[in-house]
Amino acid sequence: MTPGKARPVAAGPRADAVYVNGDIYTVDEQFRRVSAMAVGDGRFLAVGSNALAKEFIGRNTAIIDLKGRTVFPGLWDAHLHFSWYGESLLRVDLSGLEKSACLAAVKAAADKAEPGQWIQGNGWNQALWTDQSGLVGGLPTAAMLDGVSPDNPVVMERTDGHATWCNTRLLTISGMTKDAPDVAEGLIVRYPDGTPTGCFVDAASNVLTSTPPMTEQDARSACQAAQQALFAYGNTCVCDMGSGQAVIERMKDMYAEGQLKIRVQQYVDVQDAATYYAQPLSARLRLFDDRYTVNGIKILNDGAMGSAGAWFMEPYSDNALFGRPPGWVGFPTFGGPYHDADGDPVLVPTIRQNTEKLVEAMGAAVKAGFQVAVHCIGDAANRAYLDAVQKVEQDLPQHAVDPRFRDEHAQCPDADDLKRFKPLKVIPSMQAQHATQEVTMYESRVGHERTVNGGYVWRSLIDLGNVIADGSDAAVEVPNPWWGLFSAVTRINKNGYDDGGPWYPEQCMTREEALRSFTIWAAYAAFEERARGSIEQGKLADFVVVGYPDTGDTDYMTMPAGDIWRMKADMTVVGGETVFMAPGLSLLASESEGAVAAGRPYRSLSVAASRVWATWRSRGHTARNAATTSGSNWVPALA
């Protein structure tokens, strides 16, 4: 499929829409940039010159003059948590706010709430507050919240998810008094007399009464909020990591009812995977006109660096800070409970013990035709997983010649293990924003040597021949791919150049690599590189019209790197349908010289869009046979 070579036959396809005069990044093998594309029936009919695209113009074709605007393939978030991200959007958002603004936001929510209704929120960061008055132990108190919400229980999660701030109403409901016992893996912040202040760190948060479960309506609203936000950032495809059966079945219902359109590759929580192993391919692949595929499992093999739960071979470098016992190495979160040779229970098994448990679960998945994605942050978790891949690959079933095991985060592998990714064909699925948000913490946790050798070393992994699938891990980070591109290219955090500058800049990606990591490489990591991830003839028509900052820059490849995060989506298109348009965008709202030059007067895009949408709906409610699509999924060999 070489853009520029294809020519329509006389009675060939007519495009629903033709886009001309663009600066279109195809992100094909040659990283070619072209000026035009023709879209029909949800796919790219042609990609190349204005003249080529013009050949696809029929009586009902909309002609859109891009006026030199940049177009990227639809951006792909290779690791996020769809429903959790949506839930976070429904809560009070305190991120980036000063103390007074945080309290005002809680008050606004409390003023609207029914009596007794919970006020939930996230994103506060007291380190950003200029007004530090009233903090106890460096953290905010229940008394502050009581002033704005005395009657409704308030629970606010810190930006990193590792501390909870609540009001006195919730302390009372939870029975929290000065006699409350301490918690092993967490901290109840207290006044000198022992009374809890209202802030709970790590596992101590669990002593609070749990928030009421979401209603079905709220859970659906969360999914829709997630989709809307993702489209507005320019994402057209996402890998949803680790959802269980309840979420998956809800999402299927929502697709069937036309409420979801985003393309989701579903990685099932391993606990619920067996249900899906038993299903025929027609029940789980390319459902709802190729919007939803259940084709992978997610295993969580250790914790996170921030809470010192990631599993390492050698102790953390900052035990004292976290009050962990001496020699603390974290622990695996999969395969337990483990026992030592005497049969006594242990928190930390040998790597071999963890590998054996992984092999068991991974073998079952591969046998059922599922891809395996395993969360590995510490070097021990990574080593055990790579060992497991090696074992499983020695005895692959016939249909699984190309299993594409994924290492989610690959955040701190041992130097010796970096070289194993390529030969084992393990795909590092990394989140550029994590690295830049952790610059102040990472090295103190694991020390200099481990940081240099394994700290988000995507440059080293690329140089060893790997591709990187990039993502946000939303709701951990905002699924803003422009921040992702910026982070991958600069390794500078959101506070900018003045905060220590780039973090190990020798590990930066090039701009081309960064864009590939959010498009074609992410598609490859999900077995979709032949159907998505680039703008090429025959692929699904997913793309984003890019907006540049007001700096006068119009070229991603040459603009100042420090401004990449200011880029945005002006228009997001999935399967030929415009699903997001920036407010006030005039691109498609007026007649243009380019359209006239291309031979047809401008017609409203919505004509084409609504027709594509109608086509989609008319056949979207039944699963299509995988064999009829141009994807490269390896599992159809099972059929």
- Shortest Å distance, C-beta 81 to Zn ion: 6
The CB-of-301 to Zn ion minimum distance in angstroms stands at 12
As measured in angstroms, the least distance from the Cβ of 357 to Zn ion is 20
Kindly tell me which of 36 and 75 has the beta carbon lying closer to Zn ion: 75
| Shortest Å, Cβ 159 to Zn ion | 16
Task: Give the Cα separation of 215 and 118 in Å (integer).
Answer: 13
Of 28 and 473, which CB lies nearer to Zn ion in the complex structure? Answer: 473
DSSP state, 77?
Answer: E
C-beta of 75 vs 119, nearer to Zn ion: 75
Question: Cβ closer to Zn ion: 308 or 374?
Answer: 374
Q: Which is nearer to Zn ion, 301 or 493 (CB)?
A: 301
User: Rounded CA gap, 95 and 84, in Å?
Assistant: 16
Residue 599: alpha-carbon gap to chain centroid: 42
Quote the least distance from Cβ 630 to Zn ion, whole Å: 30
Shortest distance (Å) from residue 473 CB to Zn ion: 4
Q: 199 or 222, CB closer to Zn ion?
A: 222
Note whether 538 and 46 are within 8 A (CB).
Answer: no
CB 486 within 8 A of CB 517: no
Q: Which is nearer to Zn ion, 473 or 529 (CB)?
A: 473
**Per CB under 5 A, 16 contacts Zn ion:** no
Give least dist CB 432 to Zn ion, A: 14
- The answer for residues whose C-beta is within 8 angstroms of residue 290's C-beta and 6 or more apart is 263, 531, 540, 575, 624, 629
Least distance to Zn ion from the beta carbon of 219, Å? 19
- Residue of 559, 560, 578, 581 whose CA lies nearest to 569: 581
Query: Residue 202 or residue 473: which is nearer to Zn ion going by CB?
Result: 473
3 state SS of 561: helix
Task: Tell me the site size for Zn ion, rule CB under 5 A.
Answer: 1
Contact 314, 351 (CB under 8 A): no
Nearer to Zn ion, 161 or 502 (CB): 161
CA distances from 572 to 257, 400, 440 (A): 22, 35, 34
Residue closer to Zn ion by CB (options 302, 473) is: 473
Nearer to Zn ion, 267 or 276 (CB): 267
Residue 114 · residue 246 · CB < 8 Å: no
Considering the complex, what minimum distance in angstroms separates the CB of residue 313 from Zn ion?
23
Minimum CB distance to Zn ion smaller for 353 or for 433: 433
How far apart, in whole angstroms, are the C-alpha atoms of residue 515 and residue 485?
7
Query: The tokens 């005039």 sit on which residue?
Result: 586
How far, CA to CA in Å, does 275 sit from each of 6, 250, 365, 634? 44, 15, 11, 20
Closest by alpha carbon to 61, among 20, 21, 22, 14?
14
**Rule CB under 5 A: which of 445-484 touch Zn ion?**
473
Alpha-carbon span 495 to 574, nearest angstrom: 33
Length of the chain: 639
Instruction: Give the contacts of 394 (CB within 8 A, at least 6 positions apart).
Output: none
H/E/C letters for each residue in 383-425?
HHHHHHHHHHHCCCCHHHCCCCCEEEECCCCCHHHHCCHHHHC
CB of 47 to Zn ion, least distance (A): 34
Please say which residue, 157 or 473, places its beta carbon nearer to Zn ion.
473
The angle that helices 216-233 and 245-256 make with each other, rounded to 10 degrees, is 70
Residue with tokens 């229970």: 345
| Collapsed DSSP state (helix, strand, coil) of residue 628 | helix
d(CA 240, CA 593): 42
Peptide bond into 13 cis (omega under 30): no
Reading the block at residue 496, the tokens are 């900018």
Q: Which residue in the shown chain puts its C-beta closest to Zn ion?
A: 473
Least CB distance to Zn ion at residue 476 (A): 6
Q: Which two tokens stand for residue 562?
A: 């420090």
Residue 512 near residue 31 (C-beta atoms within 8 A): yes
Give one DSSP letter per residue of 415-463, joined into a string. HHHHTTHHHHTPEEEE-HHHHHHSTTTHHHHHHHHHHHHHTT-HHHHHH
3-state class (DSSP) for residue 119: strand
| Residue that the structure tokens 């409610």 belong to | 621
- Give the C-alpha distances (Å, rounded to integers) separating 502 from 240, 452, 490: 30, 14, 6
Exposed/middle/buried for 463, CB within 10 Å: 0-12, 13-18, 19+? exposed
User: Please, which residue, 65 or 302, has the CB nearer to Zn ion?
Assistant: 302
> Rounded CA gap, 601 and 564, in Å?
35
Angstrom distances, CA of residue 534 to CA of 126, 400, 405: 42, 25, 22
**CB 242, min distance to Zn ion, A:** 7
- Of 4 and 161, the one with the shorter C-beta distance to Zn ion is 161
Whole-number minimum distance, CB 297 to Zn ion, in Å?
A: 14
Task: Report the SS3 class of residue 521.
Answer: helix
Measured from the CB atom, the residue of 406 and 459 that comes closer to Zn ion is 406
Binding site for Zn ion (CB under 5 A): 473
